[in-house]
Chain A
Amino acid sequence: MTLIADRVGQIKSSGIREFFDIAQRMEDAISLGVGEPDFVTPWSIREACIFSLEKGYTSYTSNWGLLELREMLSEKLHHDDSVYYDPEGELLITTGVSEAFDLALRAIINPGDEVIIHEPSYVSYKPCALFAGGIPVSIETEVGDEFKLRADRIEDKITEKTKAIVLNYPNNPTGATLTKKDLEQIADVANEHDLLVISDEIYGKLTYDGEHTCFSTLNGMKERTILLNGFSKAYAMTGWRIGYAAGNKDIIEAMMKIHQYTMLCTPITAQMAAVEALRCDDETAEMVYEYNRRRRLMVEGLRELGLSCFEPKGAFYTFPSIANTGLTSAEFAKRLLFEHKVVVIPGSVFGDCGEGFIRCSYAVSQYELKEALNRLGRFLVTCGVK
């Protein structure tokens, strides 16, 4: 008897896992491998959560999530992004963008349907597509083109099986963003070929150069877009596990159906906290300023050490090239950890085209950032760079 279902068995755990286990355990390492804010959740949000517990809010909520929260979200999306979603039927509160992404795929994918995913990209996309019975189709993006997903490259990959395009800008791991014009060209392709777009905009609020454009605001896109967003990054709430999906009524209804039978509802405590989060934009604005300062420190610092570094416009990652060291990104990360106790993520984890790059997070204190750069500099000298 084979214990594990083929759908799961086909997903190989990557060889890098062992390295990550060591990195997790190494006590005195400085980690630039973090994918979450170093801020704790603002106190007013934590306080609201404690108050909700004191008042006895400990039950299930509607499968859709608290109506009050959906109403506030609807207003916020309207106010910030000029897109209107009906709180009753077009918005679903989920256990993070992670769950929302899984629901979106399971709601729309028939066996063998193809899902276009640009790379380098967040590690969950491909496995989720496979779990849903779909076939991920990669499109490589290049540093020379600022890691942008181009409409013509999408067209090259479209077949009669193509069902959806996954978009993640600002991007993890590159920090790349797309302009409104870039996005409009993708929207045209979606229209022309009758495709859905799953837009993971979890880093949307963390945009430093220019303004973030919400994909559903583009012409004709509201019906075609499954907009995913959450509280993890913008409000420093990763551990709370809360996010949401917005989209066309039929799709959201289908997603709700899966959510209802598998998750029932998002924890009420996280929902109560999210209600407060939507009221405290000032604190999040302050976090964005601070990330921006660190972004500049890190990019300039990396360049000064002799690495060529694409200037990220969003999220909290830099994605410098390590090609001039002659090492693979996994070798680089291992040696940097063992010899200088700094954790970075090999770019290859985010897709084959991430080879030759490393992901360095600047969601760390300025002190740690400077010390990590010092150590990285010493390592690069031993590699013969500078």
Chain B
Amino acid sequence: MKEERKEGEILKILEEDARTSDSEIARMIGVDEEEVRSTISELEKQGIIIKYKALINYEKAGMKAVQALIELNLSPERSTGYDSVAERISKFSEVKSVRLVSGEYDLLVRVEGETMREVAYFVAEKIAPLEQVRNTVTHFLLKTYKENGEIYEEEEKGKRLAVTL
């Protein structure tokens, strides 16, 4: 199998289910287990596979986490553009994602906290006062329908017959 194609297949399988074992992956794509192992460790080394995490529906678990999307307008810096402020914001553990986007604002940041108050204070105290931040708009998340390609409440699936010839 071509190297690129093999990597692509492995990434696809792990993205779908990170707990798929090396031996299962080897079977699925028809190469030996050692080759899968070395390819994966290479992908990890290169930082292409960043981490293996579970996708958790905390609402369902009854553990209430509050999330908000924060739109930030920034003044870019002469030498580093948006990078240095974006990196700075990324370092807060409350911040779950940071993305530079086109359109009416510059950064879209997702913040998580235990209460709405905590999130609001965090934005007011840590983000808004940064010198390069011109203004912020906070949107609290009310309900998640789909995350990382997974629909949270799967639709009811029609039932197939057990036997069709």
Chain A contacts of B29 at CB under 8 A? 293, 296
Q: Is the CB of B160 within 8 A of A20?
A: no
- Within the assembled complex, what's the spacing in Å between the Cα atoms of A292 and B130? 52
Residue from the list B12, B17, B160, B165 in contact with A349, Cβ < 8 A = B165
Chain A contacts of B27 at CB under 8 A? 296-297, 300-301
Q: Is the CB of B24 within 8 A of A31?
A: no
- Within the assembled complex, what's the spacing in Å between the Cα atoms of A300 and B164? 24
Asked if B50 is an interface residue, CB under 8 A from chain A, the answer is: no
Question: Min CB distance, A28 to chain B, in Å?
Answer: 11
Most buried by B among A26, A35, A301: A35
Q: Is the CB of A20 within 8 A of B24?
A: no
Question: Min CB distance, A269 to chain B, in Å?
Answer: 16
Q: Is the CB of B28 within 8 A of A24?
A: no
Residue from the list B9, B24, B165 in contact with A297, Cβ < 8 A = B24
- Within the assembled complex, what's the spacing in Å between the Cα atoms of A92 and B110? 54
If the complex has contacts A293-B29, A296-B29, A297-B24, are A35 and B165 also in contact, measured as CB distance less than 8 A?
yes
Q: Is the CB of A296 within 8 A of B160?
A: no
Chain A contacts of B160 at CB under 8 A? 31, 34, 36, 38
Asked if B56 is an interface residue, CB under 8 A from chain A, the answer is: no
Residue from the list B9, B12, B17, B161 in contact with A24, Cβ < 8 A = B161
Residue from the list A239, A294, A343 in contact with B163, Cβ < 8 A = A343
If the complex has contacts A40-B157, A293-B13, are A33 and B163 also in contact, measured as CB distance less than 8 A?
yes
Chain A contacts of B161 at CB under 8 A? 24, 34
Asked if A29 is an interface residue, CB under 8 A from chain B, the answer is: yes
Question: Min CB distance, B85 to chain A, in Å?
Answer: 37
Asked if A132 is an interface residue, CB under 8 A from chain B, the answer is: no
- Interface residue total, chain B, C-beta cutoff 8 A: 17
Residue from the list A36, A350, A366 in contact with B164, Cβ < 8 A = A36
Asked if A345 is an interface residue, CB under 8 A from chain B, the answer is: yes
If the complex has contacts A40-B157, A289-B12, A293-B13, are A29 and B162 also in contact, measured as CB distance less than 8 A?
yes
If the complex has contacts A297-B28, A300-B27, are A24 and B162 also in contact, measured as CB distance less than 8 A?
yes
Question: Min CB distance, A155 to chain B, in Å?
Answer: 30
Q: Which residue of A lies closest to B157 (CB)?
A: A40
Chain A contacts of B17 at CB under 8 A? 366
Chain A contacts of B24 at CB under 8 A? 297
Q: Is the CB of A122 within 8 A of B165?
A: yes
Chain A contacts of B165 at CB under 8 A? 35, 122-123, 345, 349-350
Q: Is the CB of B158 within 8 A of A24?
A: no
If the complex has contacts A293-B28, A296-B28, are A343 and B164 also in contact, measured as CB distance less than 8 A?
no
Chain B contacts of A301 at CB under 8 A? 27
Asked if B30 is an interface residue, CB under 8 A from chain A, the answer is: yes
Question: Min CB distance, B157 to chain A, in Å?
Answer: 6
Chain A contacts of B162 at CB under 8 A? 23-24, 26, 29, 31, 33-34, 343
- Within the assembled complex, what's the spacing in Å between the Cα atoms of A133 and B158? 38
Chain A contacts of B158 at CB under 8 A? 40, 239
Chain B contacts of A345 at CB under 8 A? 163, 165
Q: Which A330-360 residues have a C-beta within 8 angstroms of B?
A: 343, 345, 349-350
- Apart from the given pairs A34-B162, A35-B164, A349-B165, 12 other A-B contacts in the complex at a CB distance below 8 Å: A23-B162, A40-B158, A123-B165, A239-B158, A289-B9, A293-B28, A296-B28, A296-B30, A297-B24, A301-B27, A345-B163, A350-B165
